[in-house]
Amino acid sequence: MSVENAPVVDVDEAAIPVEKKMYYRFESNDKKEFRVSELAIQQSETLNRLVEAMGYTSEDVENKPAIAIENIDGKTLKLVFQWCEHHKGEAIPVDDGSVPKIVEIPEFDAKLMDIDNGLLFKLIWAADYLNIVQLLNVSCKKVANMAQGKTPAQLRRVYLLPSDEEDEAAKRAAQEAQDPRAREVEEEFEERKRQGGNSFF
Amino acid sequence: MSSSATTSPVSLLDIPELPLKLICSYVGFKSLQSLRLVSKPLCHFIDTQKPSVEIDDFTIRINHDSMQLKLTSCGLNSHLLAHVLEKEMLVCSGGRIRGSENKDYLNYAFNAVKFVLNTQTTHTFKRLEYSDEFNPEFSKMFEKFLTDQNIILRVCEFSFEGNEHQALRFLPFLDSNILKRFNFCGGSESISSDDLTKLEHWKKAKHLSINNKVFCVSIQNFSHFETAGFCMHTITAQDLIYLREKYSQSPDFSSAIISYRILEPAAAQVFGEPSWKDKWVFRCYDPNFALIIDFAYQHIRFHRTHISSTTLSVIE
């Protein structure tokens, strides 16, 4: 995908200081490309270390291939980089063990995370993978808020969790898929039982 | 609980351990107990990882024939009440009432408290209220459990109902670096030893509120609190001069209400004539602030306020 056609993250031009800033290019696992400011990248410990280690110049950023993030799709990565751009320059919280740990979800973050639960889980996964502390905090808080006042059955639906019975059935199916002969043996056994014989002996 | 770094999550259980633990720590106590009932893997995760949920308030009240536990976490209340009657014990929990032949309400309360503490690793409470003034048996069980498990409670605000001896036994189970507010009440008694005021918990706390206890110790033990309410047996002129000096110096002091049994005659005259509306007003070390002192019946109030909220000329 060419850079011209890439889904560029919106950047508030007025907020950019006069001096030239570097914008890195990243590519998701479904080949979508993003330009992200140096300052926004600092929100991610993983990406920050990566670009530091690469030591790219402005020319390198333009001429070399975009940095591939192979584990995250474009839809999720767009949310991640939108969050990073909005919160660029903000201090990264340090868990000092102080009590109680209070996390409030800012309005921007609440709107950004107004998405289906599956995508929200992906966003959490990405925030953890890219080590974006505050995004992880707010997204986990958002998921936690969904549990308020819910019964176990409601929680199962909200969090897309199988019941123990469904889980067992899925495990059995997975085992059978791994060993097709197991299914055949079981069917043969059931058939012989129906015929009334203890013919295995 | 995904172990693979490349697995894309489709449900809560596919989320890696660290964020899942974080989510569990934010859901609050009541929802965490509901989550335990969702599925075996989630129950196992919660029981082994023991995420530390935010507990805003935990109240333990033990009486002659009843016990009450109340827990507030993330805005949701959990309530457990057990009351021993002639033939049975009534237990009220989650809006339901049931009878039990087992009338050992102390053990019932103890097991419930143990359950709450066993769900956590950091034992953090914004506020803990503890009262078993009339049944010290529970304290013995509770203190033994805390000792055996090597548990130190991280409590910001501690409200204790009991006597000085009981407070001295229980306070060491609290982390003195976390405790900010100490509320102490219970049966009327006179406290003349320095044992309580020597504790680190006392020295490091910022806020103090004491009812029904009359102190016969040095007033110096109270000058570090930002807000304080307590009763002294006797107030001398030297006490008032000392407090005025300390409170004027402190940038954090806010207010203190001191009741007393005896006010020495010299103390009543120590500041001379009132300077403003029957009050005495002094400029603090920070010139933007004033210290106001006023007397009421058997009470003295010290109050630090911004200079703009008083009449500047009265202290010039």
Contact A22, A48 (CB under 8 A): no
Instruction: Identify the burial level of B182 via C-beta atoms within 10 angstroms of its C-beta, where 0-12 means exposed, 13-18 middle and 19 or more buried.
Output: buried
Same domain, B112 and B176: yes
Number of domains in chain B: 3
Say if residue B107 is in the same domain as residue B151. yes
Helix (H) or strand (E) holding A49: helix A45-54
| pLDDT tens column, B256-276 | 999 999 999 898 888 888 877
What confidence tens digit (pLDDT) does each residue in B147-162 have?
999 999 999 999 999 9
Could you tell me if B182 and B105 lie in one domain? Answer: yes
| pLDDT > 90 in chain B, percent | 61
Phi-psi region of B75 (alpha: psi -120 to 50; beta: other; left: phi over 0): left
**Domain identity same for B166 and B118:** yes
* Most confidently modeled range among A76-85, A164-173, B89-98: A76-85
Beta-carbon contacts of B208 under 8 Å, excluding residues fewer than 6 positions away, are B181, B182, B183, B184, B222, B225, B227, B228, B229, B230
> Residue A198's pLDDT is what?
37
Mean per-residue pLDDT for B128-151? 90
Q: Which of A105, A76, A70, A84 is nearest to A23 (CA)?
A: A84
pLDDT, position B3: 42
Residues from chain B that touch A102, judged by Cβ atoms under 8 A, are 54
Q: Do A137 and B22 touch (CB under 8 A)?
A: yes
Q: Is residue B212 part of a domain?
A: no
Average pLDDT of chain A, as a whole number: 80
pLDDT, average across residues B218-229? 97
A39-59: pLDDT as tens digits: 999 999 999 999 999 888 888
Identify the DSSP state of A179: -
Identity of the highest mean pLDDT range in A61-70, A121-130, A145-154, B85-94: A121-130
Does A172 score more than 90 pLDDT? no
Interface of A with B (CB under 8 A): 70-71, 73, 97, 99-103, 118, 121-122, 124-125, 127-129, 136-137, 139-141, 143-145, 147-152, 155-156, 159-164, 167
Condensed to tens digits (0 to 9), the pLDDT of residues B193-208 reads 999 999 999 999 999 9
Do the Cβ atoms of B12 and A160 come within 8 Å?
yes
Is residue B213 assigned to a domain?
no
Q: Does any domain span residue B242?
A: yes
Residue to mutate among B8, B53, B74, B178, with most A CBs inside 10 A, is B8
Q: What is the rounded CA–CA span in Å between residue A195 and residue A189?
A: 10
A/B interface, count of CB pairs below 8 Å? 115
The ipTM value here is 0.74
| pLDDT at residue B87, rounded to an integer | 81
Q: What is the pLDDT of residue A119?
A: 93
pLDDT band at A161 (very low <50, low <70, confident <90, very high): confident
B181 and B244 co-located in one domain = no
Are the Cβ atoms of B27 and A147 closer than 8 angstroms?
Answer: yes
A148:B178 CB<8 A: no
Closest Cα in chain B, distance from residue A74 (Å): 13
Same domain flag for B79 and B120: yes
Q: What is the pLDDT of residues B47-67, one digit of tens each?
A: 898 888 889 999 999 988 899
* Greatest pairwise CA separation for chain A in angstroms: 88
- Closest residue of chain A to B77, computed from CA coordinates: A149
B313 within some domain: yes
Burial zone of B309 (CB within 10 Å; 0-12 exposed, 13-18 middle, 19+ buried): exposed
Residues B84 and B187 in one domain: yes
User: Between residues B29 and B209, which one has the greater pLDDT?
Assistant: B209
- The pLDDT value recorded for residue B2 is 47
The answer to whether the CB atoms of B16 and A118 lie below 8 A apart is: no
> What residues make up the domain containing B291?
218-316
Per-residue model confidence (pLDDT) at position B10: 72
- How far is A90 from chain B, CA to nearest CA, in Å? 21
Interface mutation target, options B13, B29, B34, B128, chain A, most CBs of A under 10 Å: B34
| Residue B35 and residue B83 in one domain | no
Does the CB of B309 have a partner CB in chain A at under 8 Å? no
Confidence of residue B245 (pLDDT cuts 50, 70, 90): very high
Q: Tell whether B49 lies on the interface with A, counting CB pairs under 8 A.
A: no
Residue A193 predicted with pLDDT over 50: no
Q: Which conformational region is residue B58 in: left (phi greater than 0), alpha (psi within -120 to 50 degrees), or beta? A: beta
The answer, yes or no, to whether the previous bond of A100 is cis (omega within 30 of 0) is yes
Q: Is the dihedral of CA B304, B306, B311, B314 positive or negative?
A: positive
In a mutagenesis test of the A interface, which of B30, B39, B55 is the best target, namely the one with the most A β-carbons within 10 Å?
B39
Q: Is the pLDDT of residue A199 over 60?
A: no
Cα of B80 to nearest chain A Cα, Å: 18
Q: What is the pLDDT of residues A72-110, one digit of tens each?
A: 999 999 999 999 999 999 998 887 655 446 789 999 999
- Which residues of chain B are within 8 Å of residue A103 when distances are taken between CB atoms? 26
Looking at the fold, whether B10 and B39 belong to one and the same domain comes out as: yes
Asked whether the CA dihedral B174, B179, B184, B190 is positive or negative, the reply is positive
Residue A113 pLDDT greater than 60, yes or no: yes
Q: What is the pLDDT of residue A41?
A: 95
Quick check: is B8 in a domain? yes
The alpha-carbon gap from B14 to the nearest alpha carbon of chain A, in Å, equals: 8
Which pLDDT tens digit goes with each residue over B67-79? 999 999 988 898 9
Indicate if B292 and B169 belong to the same structural domain.
no
Domain boundary among B207, B230, B253: B207
Architecture in CATH for domain A13-145: 2-Layer Sandwich (3.30)
Which pLDDT does position A20 carry in this prediction?
Answer: 60
Residue A3: is it exposed, middle or buried by C-beta count within 10 angstroms (0-12/13-18/19+)?
exposed
- Say yes or no: B295 and B246 in one domain: yes
Distance CA B112, CA B138 (A): 12
Q: Does the residue B273 lie in any domain?
A: yes
How does the average pLDDT of chain B come out, rounded? Answer: 90
- Give the pLDDT score at B314: 57
Distance from the Cα of A126 to chain B's closest Cα (Å) equals: 9
pTM of the model: 0.78
For residue A151, list chain B residues with Cβ-Cβ distance below 8 A: 34
pLDDT score recorded for residue A31 = 92
**Sequence-separated (6 or more) residues with CB below 8 Å from residue B100:** B82, B88, B89, B90, B91
SS3 A103: coil
- Residue A187: per-residue pLDDT: 61
Structure tokens at B205: 């706390």
pLDDT for A87 equals 96
The predicted pLDDT at position B233 comes to: 96
B184 and B80 in a common domain: yes
Q: Count of CB atoms within 10 A of residue B219's CB?
A: 19
Instruction: State how far residue A146 is from chain B, nearest Cα, in angstroms.
Output: 8
Indicate whether A147 pLDDT > 70: yes
Q: Which residues of A touch B176 (CB under 8 A)?
A: none
Q: Confidence band (pLDDT; 50, 70, 90) for B5? A: very low
Is the CB of A144 less than 8 angstroms away from the CB of B37? no
Question: Taking CB atoms and an 8 Å limit, are B26 and A167 in contact across chains?
Answer: no
d(CA B217, CA B240): 14
What is the number of residues in chain A?
201
| Cα–Cα distance, B282 to B316 (Å, whole number) | 9
Is beta strand B189-191 parallel, antiparallel or unpaired with respect to B181-185? unpaired
Q: How confident is the model at residue A6, as a pLDDT?
A: 47
**Pairing outcome for strands A23-27 and A67-68:** parallel
Residues 108-137 of B with CB under 8 A from A: 122, 124, 126
Whether pLDDT at A192 is above 80: no
- What percent of chain A has a predicted confidence (pLDDT) above 90? 48
CA atoms within 13 A of residue A153's CA, in its CB half-sphere? 0
Q: Do A161 and B13 touch (CB under 8 A)?
A: yes
What is the H or E stretch that residue A37 is in?
strand A33-37
Identify which of B9, B13, B31 has the shortest CB distance to residue A150.
B31
Tell me, what's the pLDDT at A55? 87
Domain boundary among B157, B179, B207: B207
